[in-house]
Structure 1
Amino acid sequence: MNYDSEKYTVCPIDLVNFNVNDENKDGLVNLSEKTCSCMKFQVDKLPCRHALAAIRFVKKPFADFCEDYYKTTSWVEAYSGNIFPVGHPSEWTIPEDVRSRVVYLPPFRMQAGRPKKKRFKSAGEYRNGKTRNCAICGKSGHNQQNYRNTQPCQIPVPSVTSATSKRPRRPYRYREEGRNSQKCPLTPEVGGTT
């Protein structure tokens, strides 16, 4: 359904003819003959945007203006009878002029590069047969993005080490001519080494 057609202005000419004004091209709609000046109503056998506005104006159901082969009742009737199998190909009677025709494959050009051997996994599949776990808590069933929306779980706490056991990071220095990390006055001394 075209929701833009709700904004169109419909000017009735008589009971079945309507002039529908839109921003680009106006349409002259005849609901009894199912025609429109934009020709989409006649070609598709479905109401175009102008026809939708006119049908909405007269407050009739849209399905009444669609062709019957678009409706589900026609589809159900088409498949309601028995459908028999075609049988084995050796039992078919094929005319000789059809049998003599040779059908070749359509022209095909390989894409550049090495062909892919693995297909892309879909969203529900797991890689290498392993389940994916949350990066925060390590449990399955959720991931890091939707972690807050799940039930609370135990977050592993990293072990605290003393500050003296780790060597502090050296501050970032600009390289100057004649200065290296051993001669730099900004380098802190840890354990008597520079």
Structure 2
Amino acid sequence: MKQVVPSTEYIYNVTDDGRSFVVCLKNKTCSCGRFQYEEIPCEHAWAVLKRKSLVADGYCSDLYKPKTILKIYEIPIYPLPDVAEWVIPEYIMYDEVRPPKFKRPPRRPKNKPRSKTKRELLGLKGKHTCSTCGVVGHNRRSCRNRPQEV
């Protein structure tokens, strides 16, 4: 059972099996990603549309609507004749198709080395700073300025 909680007029929080999803009807998005990818309402958007008693037609892409599908089939598609009846131009008929000039090696390509930073190229190294006293040149373990334990 999906629980739908409105945040604003267009944004809703849908809880499904302990997971929470954010649905925005204005932008046609859902945090699950399916609403944007498929361009039709996902199950979380359907729950919101059902709760608000809205028709899903306005939230589907035009690609899925019957008018678009009928337009696809308006252009007639003619079957190809038998291979013997094909008309091939002479300049194509006698063209010689050759294999590529370079052959790819059989193994995986080597990784390119990463580019070094300007600091690495100049050979600059970081200076050690003591976290106890803040003096450069040593660390906390070798600090002579730390308080003595009694």
What band does the TM-score fall into relative to the shorter chain? Answer: 0.5 to 0.7
Work out the CA distance in 2 between the residues paired with 1:24 and 1:99. Answer: 64
Structure 2 equivalent of residue 35 of structure 1: 29
Give the C-alpha shift of residue 63 in structure 1. 2.8
Give secondary structure in 1 for the equivalent of 2:9: coil
Q: Which amino acid aligns with 1:78?
A: I
- Structure 1 residue runs without a partner (length 5+): 1-6, 103-194
Give secondary structure in 2 for the equivalent of 1:74: helix
User: Which structure is higher in strand share?
Assistant: 2
Deviation string 1:109-165 (CA, Å, 9 cap, x unpaired) is: xxxxxxxxxxxxxxxxxxxxxxxxxxxxxxxxxxxxxxxxxxxxxxxxxxxxxxxxx
Q: Does the alignment pair 1:100 with 2:94?
A: no
Change in Cα spacing, 1:35 to 1:99, as seen in structure 2 (3 Å) is farther
Give secondary structure in 2 for the equivalent of 1:26: strand
User: Which structure is higher in helix share?
Assistant: 2
Structure 1 equivalent of residue 87 of structure 2: 91
Give the C-alpha shift of residue 101 in structure 1. 7.8
Any residues of structure 2 matched to 1:29-68 within 5 Å, and which?
29-68=23-62
Q: Which amino acid aligns with 1:66?
A: C
TM score, norm. by length of structure 2: 0.52
Aligned length: 95
Work out the CA distance in 2 between the residues paired with 1:99 and 1:53. Answer: 60
TM score, norm. by length of structure 1: 0.42
The CA RMSD over aligned residues, in Å, is 3.0
Give the C-alpha shift of residue 17 in structure 1. 0.8
Deviation string 1:13-67 (CA, Å, 9 cap, x unpaired) is: 1221111112232110011111001111111212111111111122111232121
Rg bigger for which structure? 1
Q: Which amino acid aligns with 1:27?
A: F
| Identical-residue share of aligned pairs (%) | 28
Change in Cα spacing, 1:95 to 1:12, as seen in structure 2 (3 Å) is farther
Runs of 4 or more, structure 1, over 6 Å off, are none
Any residues of structure 2 matched to 1:41-190 within 5 Å, and which?
41-87=35-81, 89=83, 90-92=86-88, 100=97
Change in Cα spacing, 1:26 to 1:87, as seen in structure 2 (3 Å) is same
- Structure 2 residue runs without a partner (length 5+): 100-150
Structure 1 equivalent of residue 4 of structure 2: 10
